[in-house]
Chains A and B, each alone.
Chain A
Amino acid sequence: MDRIDRAVNDLREMDELASGDSPVHHFSALAKLTVTVVYILTAVSFSPYDASGLLMMVFYPLMIFQITGIPFRTYLYKMRFVLPLVLFVGLFNPLFDRRVMLVLGGLKITGGMISMFTLMIKGMFCLSASFLLAATVRIDDLCAALRKIHMPDMIVTLLLLTYRYVSVLLDEASIMNEAYHLRAPGQKGIHVSAWGSFFGQLLLRSFDRAQELYESMRLRGYRGEFPYARAEKEKGRDFLYAAGWILFFVLCRYVNIPVLLGRLFVR
């Protein structure tokens, strides 16, 4: 399958994941958005040397992966371009911070090593939380939730229409790419000499298509504000869901649970 087709499929697959039917999918978008934001803020706020405390935060993504049935490899696959960047972030820490913090079986663990590990883990956690939000909340519901917290309409509409426009652009690119390769057999990618006309045409075609889509929206009553689903009001279970997780995150942040558990066994 071509790269562009894969990108289109990736995008559509996220829509399909978000329309799932697991218990997590049934909680309100606002509850899940709140949990995700608090999770990310909590994970980021951990000290660079508090690797053991941070590890407990893995419980949230693990639980959500488990309950929703979203395969972990789907996450790894979709994040394949971003994950290496996240892992790269703390790579130089061991060079700068060489204070020995711990000795494990004769192996000296420096502060740089720990902070590198912590940074990587933080990045992984934040990415997984964002992915899980996108995989359990449809973009329309997410936008509706953003409107509920009074995010300006223009920003939310921009977010939504950009998301929709990306698939229009990719669709057109896919059609043009197919047409190109049918007349350029055996050629890898698009030849440099055709880049100008290819991208120019792509822009014009996607403009045309976007124009038709826009007309179709206007004819069906669109007047600048997207008609988000009139989501039901948050129910008790949504508050419980959000409160439960937030409580857990706060607990993880202020109580080092692994150390506490360790003390039960080691005196």
Chain B
Amino acid sequence: MIEVKNVSYSYDSGNEVLHDISFTAGKGERIGLIGANGAGKSTLMKAMLGLIPFSGAIRLFGTEVRKDTLSEIRSRTGYVLQNSDHQMFMPKVYDDMMFAPRNYGLSEEETEQRIDRVLKQLNIEDLKYRYNHKISGGEKKMASIAVILVMEPELIIMDEPTASLDPRNRRKVINAVNSLDAGRIITSHDLDMIRETCDRVILLNEGRIEADGKAPEILSDKELLERCGLELPLSMQ
């Protein structure tokens, strides 16, 4: 489902952020993309979604990420931004959930059904008609997940989904993520969360893949993690 081949990306200043990144992933794989700040995690995700130009090739669902294929790729991919305030731009949760389906021409009836189904799945039916500026950070994060689920994406990409959340809301998000069938790529510094939600981990360090393997193996390798500016998950310390 995901094929990333020799992907590199540099800023205009020449500073290389991604260097020759290659990996593949099958349908439904649950991947944790970890690394210290500035390792290139967010840049790689943006490249996968065609938000930045890159060298190399990326194929999602067998389709190469190119300007003319972005619409198809984006309709099958959901991206949850780290900051929900930057993702939710409509007055109400409901309006935000309507945005993508309307863009892709889904019928109002079908969208309504999907919205109700997603809100029920995430157990946040009460948020449907709430104003985005009147809900808490945790509720907003759940709503931002709901917003992308309404398109029933085959691949979900999440940027730091548990950042700034209290333990209860963090648990809610983890449970919500684990209830999803779609394949996923999650970037986070919350390695305990990665341990609970992903089977495979790709460790980035200074724009290169330092390790790629099973989550329990990489997340328990203290030396490797420390070399890349990380620490063992708290639950393993």
From A140, which residue of chain B is reached at the shortest CB distance?
B95
A-B pairs with beta carbons under 8 Å apart, 10 shown: A12-B131, A16-B131, A19-B91, A140-B90, A140-B95, A168-B89, A209-B86, A212-B87, A219-B49, A221-B100
Contact indicator per residue, chain B 79-92, by CB within 8 Å of chain A (1) or not (0): 10101011101111
Asked if B102 and A15 sit within 8 Å, CB to CB, the answer is no
- Which residues does chain A contribute within 8 Å of B102, judged by CB atoms? 227-230
Asked if B91 and A212 sit within 8 Å, CB to CB, the answer is no
- Residue count of chain A within 8 Å CB distance of chain B: 25
Chain A contact surface mostly: helix
Complex: how many Å from CA A232 to CA B86?
A: 30
Least CB distance, A81 to chain B, in whole angstroms:
23
Can you list the 4 inter-chain pairs with the closest CB atoms, starting with the nearest? A221-B103, A227-B102, A220-B100, A212-B86
- Which residues does chain B contribute within 8 Å of A12, judged by CB atoms? 91, 131, 133
- Contact residues, A215-229 vs B (CB, 8 A): 215-223, 227-229
Q: Is A164 on the interface with B (CB-CB < 8 A)?
A: yes
From A212, A215, A220, A230, B108 is in contact (CB under 8 Å) with A230
Q: Is B99 on the interface with A (CB-CB < 8 A)?
A: yes
From A164, which residue of chain B is reached at the shortest CB distance?
B89
Given A220-B103, A227-B103, A230-B108, decide whether A215 and B91 contact each other with a Cβ distance below 8 A: no
Q: Is B63 on the interface with A (CB-CB < 8 A)?
A: no
Asked if A220 and B99 sit within 8 Å, CB to CB, the answer is yes
Asked if B86 and A213 sit within 8 Å, CB to CB, the answer is yes
Q: Is A25 on the interface with B (CB-CB < 8 A)?
A: no
Asked if A221 and B81 sit within 8 Å, CB to CB, the answer is no
Number of A-B contacts (CB under 8 A): 65
Which residues of A does B touch, CB under 8 Å?
12, 15-16, 19, 138, 140, 164, 168, 171, 209, 212-213, 215-223, 227-230
Asked if A223 and B103 sit within 8 Å, CB to CB, the answer is yes
From A221, which residue of chain B is reached at the shortest CB distance?
B103
- Which residues does chain B contribute within 8 Å of A168, judged by CB atoms? 89
- Which residues does chain A contribute within 8 Å of B91, judged by CB atoms? 12, 15, 19, 138
Given A212-B81, A216-B86, decide whether A227 and B99 contact each other with a Cβ distance below 8 A: yes
Least CB distance, B149 to chain A, in whole angstroms:
12
Complex: how many Å from CA A46 to CA B140?
A: 51
Q: Is B104 on the interface with A (CB-CB < 8 A)?
A: yes
Least CB distance, B155 to chain A, in whole angstroms:
12
Asked if B92 and A212 sit within 8 Å, CB to CB, the answer is no
Asked if A218 and B51 sit within 8 Å, CB to CB, the answer is yes
Complex: how many Å from CA A15 to CA B133?
A: 11
Asked if A221 and B104 sit within 8 Å, CB to CB, the answer is yes
Asked if A219 and B74 sit within 8 Å, CB to CB, the answer is yes
- Which residues does chain B contribute within 8 Å of A209, judged by CB atoms? 86
From A15, A218, A220, A230, B151 is in contact (CB under 8 Å) with A220
Q: Is B6 on the interface with A (CB-CB < 8 A)?
A: no
Least CB distance, B46 to chain A, in whole angstroms:
8
Least CB distance, A34 to chain B, in whole angstroms:
24
- Which residues does chain A contribute within 8 Å of B81, judged by CB atoms? 212, 216
Asked if B108 and A216 sit within 8 Å, CB to CB, the answer is no
Complex: how many Å from CA A213 to CA B98?
A: 16
Asked if B83 and A212 sit within 8 Å, CB to CB, the answer is yes
Asked if A221 and B75 sit within 8 Å, CB to CB, the answer is yes
Complex: how many Å from CA A168 to CA B88?
A: 11
Asked if B87 and A216 sit within 8 Å, CB to CB, the answer is yes
- Which residues does chain B contribute within 8 Å of A217, judged by CB atoms? 89, 99
Q: Is B71 on the interface with A (CB-CB < 8 A)?
A: yes
Complex: how many Å from CA A218 to CA B87?
A: 11
Asked if B89 and A223 sit within 8 Å, CB to CB, the answer is no
- Which residues does chain B contribute within 8 Å of A219, judged by CB atoms? 49, 51, 74, 77, 79
- Which residues does chain A contribute within 8 Å of B104, judged by CB atoms? 221
Complex: how many Å from CA A27 to CA B42?
A: 45
